Amino acid sequence: MLSQEDLNSVNTLNDDYEKRRLSKDRIKKQARKALIDHQRLKHFKTKNFLLRRVVLPFSEIEIERLAIYMNMEFNNYETIFESVKMIRLFSAGTDLHFSWIVKAGITKYLVDFLDVKYVSRYFNIQSDENFHIDDSSITNRISTAQLLALQYESVRSLTNIGRRTIEYVQHIVDLGCVPKLIMLVNACNDSEMQYQSILALDNINQNSHEIIEFRDTLLSHGYLDILINFINSNNNQLERIRNVTYSISILLSRNYTTAPVQYFEKAIPILSKMLHQSEISDGFLWDFSLLTDVEPAINQLVITSDTISKLVALLSDSSIHNQIPASRTISNICTDNTIQTEIALNSGLLEKVSIFLTSENNLLIREAFYILSSIPAEQIEGVVVNSKITPLFLETSKFNDNLFVKPGLFSFIETLCCRGNHKIINHLINLNVIEILHSGLCDEFLRVCLETLSNILQVEECKERAIQEMKHLNTFEKIKSEIQNADLTKSIGATLASLL
């Protein structure tokens, strides 16, 4: 005979069983209602809606019902697929609608649908060939094409959600979408699906400058590899390649900390090959320039002589939209790198810069100064003293008062006088550089010209000649009239301040 304690345990088990049965019955009723209301979903899939992109007239309660329709345990494929399509259309709405989607748990379903193992718990996934063979013994069958369609709609929905605030991006990352999206790209041969998945991942990448862990997560799961593979297998789709290269530049260089060098070693050689294509977009060149705007040590490891020669050749391109980013890239890779600067000089860099300086386009003139300013100190003497480039840029400056050009000019002269030796400075004085600096003693360029004159006066071999030139031009009187406060005087150096 059972004791009272045993009877109580049995009664408790019976109560729990009854509660579970009632709960399961309730879910079944909701699932049956989902099937009945399945036709109602189609009401919103009108051509008029698709053309106008009107927000679906759903309430928060109806969004919660859509979450019930997406439960694979109680719904057939058609119901789930139509529900996901509704979510994809609905995800073009406001942030309020997104909060409903997240609250209802729909994002969790969307991420789960990316996982083939998860879907296979509830459906028998068959190849497209076997799916057309009637077999009544197999229930809940779906074809691989149907699975791909469901995953595609899920990815597009996640893409829409990831375009919102960083909080939503953090939410889908926490759900584990990164490894599942990358696994989907690697397992799928459909380029459209691969590209859509890359767009979804790129929303996370775009926010990596705010949360560096996003970048680390992407890199650790092989995001860079799938971007490179996409470029290799879709090199005829220029617009998509442009977007992918932009993603690479953000991933590796547009953060507070630069990515480790091994990732640059993977990316830059692949992108360098694209420079030799017959069709090349200015967008790609800008992305490449951003990717090279890193530590010189990284560029030295990954930039080849063929790449530098091609970039120098692009300075003669017929389009200024290609010339300027090519110029910026050359400036990046030549900075503090004598080997790569030598390759660029041997490839005819100075001839191209001379053409820029004689151009009527002020943007090209400014780029010429950027390139010259990037030449390392060890090689600057050969460029300044032993070539015709210096008289050319000084002559250009006398007749060009454009505000695009002047900052680059004075910055380059300051660089020469700061890093150069007495031979360079004497050469500049012979070419009337004091007169040019005298003309720049105005509000906008006063500080840089004063600092440059101070650097010149600190070189003993050049000091006497410079003072004579400055006295002849009444430079000291002009400096006194232009200086408005003592703080500026202190910043220009003890030598010049004592002469005043």
Report DSSP letters for 146-211, one per residue: HHHHHHHHHHHHHHHHHTS-HHHHHHHHHTTHHHHHHHHHHH---HHHHHHHHHHHHHHHHTTTT-
Going by pLDDT thresholds of 50, 70 and 90, the confidence category of residue 64 is confident
Element (H, E) at 285: helix 282-291
Inter-residue contact 249 to 270 (CB < 8 Å): no
Q: Is the pLDDT of residue 248 over 80?
A: yes
Other beta carbons within 10 Å of 19: 10
More confident residue, 311 or 61: 311
Model confidence at 48, pLDDT cuts 50, 70, 90, reads very low
Q: Report the range of poorest mean pLDDT among 289-303, 360-374, 449-463, 477-491.
A: 477-491
| Cβ 333 vs Cβ 308: under 8 Å | yes
Mean pLDDT, residues 161-180 taken together = 87
pLDDT, tens digit (0-9, with 9 covering 90-100), for 254-269: 655 677 888 888 888 8
Residue 457 predicted with pLDDT over 90: no
- pLDDT at residue 54 greater than cutoff 50: no
pLDDT, tens digit (0-9, with 9 covering 90-100), for 412-436: 788 888 777 788 888 888 888 888 8
**What is the residue whose two structure tokens read 């050969």?**
382
Please, are residues 110 and 157 in contact by the beta-carbon 8 Å criterion?
yes
Smallest CA-to-CA distance from 433 within 446, 424, 445 is with 424
pLDDT per position as a tens digit, 316-357: 888 888 899 899 989 888 887 888 888 898 999 988 988 888
Which pLDDT band, with edges at 50, 70 and 90, does 38 fall under?
very low
Instruction: Return d(Cα 32, Cα 317) in angstroms, integer.
Output: 66
Q: Output the CA–CA distances (angstroms, integers) from residue 7 to 4, 14, 15, 16, 19, in the order listed.
A: 5, 11, 12, 14, 18
Rounded to whole angstroms, the Cα distance separating 93 from 89 reads 8
Report the mean per-residue pLDDT for the chain: 77
pLDDT range class, residue 43, cuts 50, 70, 90: very low
User: Is pLDDT of 112 > 90?
Assistant: yes
Return phi, psi of residue 124, to 5°: -85, 105
The Cα–Cα gap between 227 and 245 comes to 8
The residue that leads in pLDDT, 154 or 408, is 154
Average pLDDT over residues 165-177: 87
Start-end of H helices in 37-165: 38-42, 47-52, 60-69, 77-90, 95-103, 106-112, 116-120, 128-131, 144-162
What integer is the mean pLDDT of 476-493?
66
Banded model confidence at residue 40, pLDDT cuts 50, 70, 90: very low
Determine which of 3-7, 98-102, 307-311 has the lowest per-residue pLDDT on average: 3-7
Angle subtended at Cα 116 by Cα 111 and Cα 118, rounded to the nearest 5 degrees: 65
| pLDDT of the residue at 93 | 61
User: Each residue of 207-240: pLDDT tens digit?
Assistant: 877 778 888 889 889 999 999 888 888 767 777 8
For residue 107, pLDDT over 60 is answered with yes
- Asked which of 48-62, 220-234, 479-493 is least confident by mean pLDDT, the reply is 48-62
Check whether 387 has a pLDDT greater than 50.
Answer: yes
**Mean local confidence (pLDDT), 25-50:** 46
The predicted structure's pLDDT at residue 108: 92
74 pLDDT tier (thresholds 50, 70, 90): confident
Q: Work out the pLDDT band at 47, boundaries 50, 70, 90.
A: very low
Query: In this predicted structure, what is the pLDDT of residue 65?
Result: 84
The answer on pLDDT for 455 being more than 60 is: yes
The C-alpha angle with vertex 181 and arms to 178 and 182, in degrees rounded to 5, equals 85
Cβ atoms of residues 68 and 103 within 8 Å? no
Q: Checking DSSP bridges between strand 141-143 and strand 124-126, what pairing results, if any?
A: parallel
465: three-class secondary structure by DSSP: helix
Looking up tokens 């063929």, which residue turns up? Answer: 306
Structural domains of the chain, ranges and CATH numbers in brackets: 22-132+140-218 (1.25.10.10), 222-347 (1.25.10.10), 355-500 (1.25.10.10)
Most confident stretch, 55-59, 442-446, 464-468: 464-468
**Cα distances (angstroms) measured from residue 94 to each of 53, 70, 103, 474:** 13, 22, 15, 66
DSSP 256: S
More confident call, 344 vs 46: 344
- For residues 227 and 253, the model is more confident at 227
Q: What is the pTM of this model?
A: 0.68
Region 31-57 average pLDDT: 44
Mean pLDDT along residues 68-79:
87
DSSP state of 140: S
Which H helix or E strand runs over 474?
A: none
Cα-only R_g, the chain: 33
| Helix axes of 238-253 and 282-291: crossing angle, nearest 10 degrees | 20
Segment 446-471 shows an average pLDDT of 85
